[in-house]
Structure formats: C-alpha cells, structure tokens
Structure 1
Amino acid sequence: MSDHQKKATAYWKENVRYLFILLAIWFLVSFGAGILFKDALNAFKIGGFKVGFWFAQQGSIYVFVILIFIYVRLMNKLDEKYGYHE
C-alpha cells in the first residue's frame, strides 16, 4: 500500500469516526431527549415550556445545526492534518 493510500485510509477512518460520534449525539438528543426521556425532562421548564416538549419541537433542530458547525470545524482541522486543505 502506498503512502498516499495509507494517508487516505487514515483520513477516511477518522472522518467516519467523527460522523458516528456526531450522529450518536444527534440521536441521543432527538430520540432520547424528545421521546425516551421526555417524561423525566418535562419536570423542568425552559421559557414556560416543558423541556421534553422543547427538545422534541425545537432543541433537536438547534443541536443539529450546532453539530453541522462542529463537523465543519473538525473537517477543516482534519483536512489540514492530512494535507487536503486548499
């Protein structure tokens, strides 16, 4: 295996690891907080709304947008690390 192929394989493995971690966070927030743990979270309120309801309606979308920015930042660092930046 050439040096370029090793570098590309390592890059891809790290990229997939980032994807799985970020998708797991999104799953926990959207499915976990919005559905599974809704009853426990509804004991608290944000802006007059129950937290479980808020996560199901708004919070998971906000977290998803934040995760997009985190992914962009991680990928920019990864590109620089492996020499794929512009």
Structure 2
Amino acid sequence: MTDKSNAKAYWKENIRYLFILLGIWFLVSFGAGIIFKDALNTIKIGGFKLGFWFAQQGAMYVFVILIFVYVRIMNKLDKKYGFDV
C-alpha cells in the first residue's frame, strides 16, 4: 500500500468513526433531552425524571465518555495504519 492510499484509507476510516460518535452524541443530547423527553420522564433516577437528567447532565457525561472512546479508537487506528510515532 502506498503512502497516499494509506493516508486516504486512514482518513476515510477516521471520518466514519467521527460520524458514528457524533451520531451517538446527537441522539443522546438532542434525542434523549428533547425529542424523547416525555417518554423518558416516566422513569425516575434519584428523584429526578430521566428526560430532565439527560438534558441537564446525561448528555455531558456521554460526551466525555465519547472523547475517551475516540482517543482509544484513534490510537488503534494510528497503529493499524502505521501513524503511531
């Protein structure tokens, strides 16, 4: 595999992972906090409705977790394509 095709494959896979992780973040922040709020509010956690919890705190927790997941995925991707220095 040439360097140019190697870099192209790397970025293609990187963008695919980005879209997947951003999709998860969108579903959690916009979906759980706004769209599915009424359905989630029937469930309570610690005295608070689940829809409220996702809108106020859950989306932030998921975002931080997704950052760590992205770092782990990118480290594996760097090793796979030989970009780990």
Classify the TM-score, shorter chain. Answer: over 0.9
Paired residue for 1:56? 55
Paired residue for 2:37? 38
Instruction: Give the Å deviation of 1:74.
Output: 0.1
- Identity, % of aligned positions: 75
Paired residue for 1:82? 81
Instruction: Give the Å deviation of 1:6.
Output: 0.3
Structure 1 regions of 5+ residues with no counterpart? none
The aligned amino acid for 1:68 is I
Paired residue for 2:22? 23
Paired residue for 2:46? 47
- Equivalent-residue separation in structure 1 for 2:70 and 2:83 (angstroms): 16
Instruction: Give the Å deviation of 1:59.
Output: 0.1
How many residues in Structure 1 have an aligned counterpart in Structure 2?
85
Structure 2 regions of 5+ residues with no counterpart? none
Instruction: Give the Å deviation of 1:5.
Output: 0.4
TM-score by length of 2: 0.98
